[in-house]
Homo-oligomer: A and B are copies of this chain.
Amino acid sequence: MPGSEFELDQKLPVGILGATGIVGQRMAALLEGHPWFELKVVGASNASVGKRYGNVKWRIDNPSFVPDAASRLEVVSCDLENFQNCAWVFSALDSSVAQEIEPRFQQAVIPIFTNSSAFRMDPTVPLIVPTANGLDFVKLLRTDPKGLLVANSNCTTSGIAVVLAAFVKAGLELDAVTIHSLQAVSGAGVSPGLSVMDIHDNVVPYISEEEPKIEEEIRKILGFDDLKVSASCNRVMVTDGHTVNLAVKFKSTLNKSLLVTKSKKALTDYSVGIKQLPTMPKTAIFLFDETTNDRPQPKLDRMREGGMCTSVGRLRECPVMDIKLTLLLHNTILGAAGSALLNAELAFSEGMIKA
């Protein structure tokens, strides 16, 4: 593995809870050929138990094929006993199910890297977007590594957190943030997910529970309890890739022109500050320069750096806030499966989870 000091005799066996949904399938796709981890157990609800994973309806189109090794696994229930031989599990469970199942794994001291929202706001659970606050996670691991249930954020939250973390790291203090999202349909899942009759030739200007999640998760990730955040979420007819119009007011007396310059520099200079890992993008943020005014676009930019990079464009003065920009993130990679995987790599590289 380039950039890593690890050489493993044998890959670590891992499992997925909720392996048949879109995020679970993404996890399986990302684990294909992973240098450290090997997918050994795929758990799902009773409807799928007993099927070969390769015969489950595949829902993502890039890649559009079930990973070869995973395709031969038999789907099992999400009962604890099926995962006893896993070094840890990834969870792509729905929140209501996760609420019940995830604590059982915690009690059995099987670490969980979860995409579910069930425990994100629990003060004992680290909420980590690794390319935003991955360093906080490292510090936590080194001081207080007990009871590993690590949550990554809501999909939309992820890219926003990365950009805001870059501002904070560059010394730009945040006063208020407005978020207007145009979210892809893969975020709505597939069982049944969105009916085509409801979204084709349409925009749905509401996503259940999404706005408060984003607002509170951003505050928790950045560690600013009093940050003013306003999120307005819209569903649009895009398969993958959430577009966000972000505006920021800084605690600063600098003029807007200077704040634009400093913001751009903050994004360009940004580095997460943690070691290189298999799923870590080379640059966590890609900034389009002034010669390009119509990017990022989901169709063209979502797969940048394997879907782990947050793309930013149109950073300019805002007549109402200080600056505004458009950012794009892959909602099921950076925004879900990829961050869960990178969190696991981080924990493993810190020695906190073992072979």
Q: Measuring CB to CB, which residues of chain A are less than 8 angstroms from any residue of chain B?
A: 22, 58-59, 61-65, 176-178, 180, 182, 185-186, 188, 190, 192-206, 215, 228-230, 232, 234, 236-239, 241, 243, 245, 247, 249, 293-304, 313-314, 318-321, 324, 326
Contact = CB atoms under 8 A, between A and B. Distances in A.
A159 to B, nearest CB: 13
Given A61-B201, A201-B201, 6 more contacts: A178-B178, A178-B247, A186-B197, A196-B198, A200-B239, A229-B320
A238 B185 contact: no
A321 B200 CA distance: 32
Contacts of A228: 319-320
Contacts of A234: 182, 243, 245, 326
B64 A301 contact: yes
A183 B241 CA distance: 18
Contacts of A298: 201-203
B61 A300 contact: yes
Nearest to A177: B320
A105 B180 CA distance: 43
Contact of A182 (B198, B200, B236, B297): B236
Contacts of A192: 192-193, 195
A203 B182 contact: yes
Contact of A245 (B190, B205, B241, B300): B205
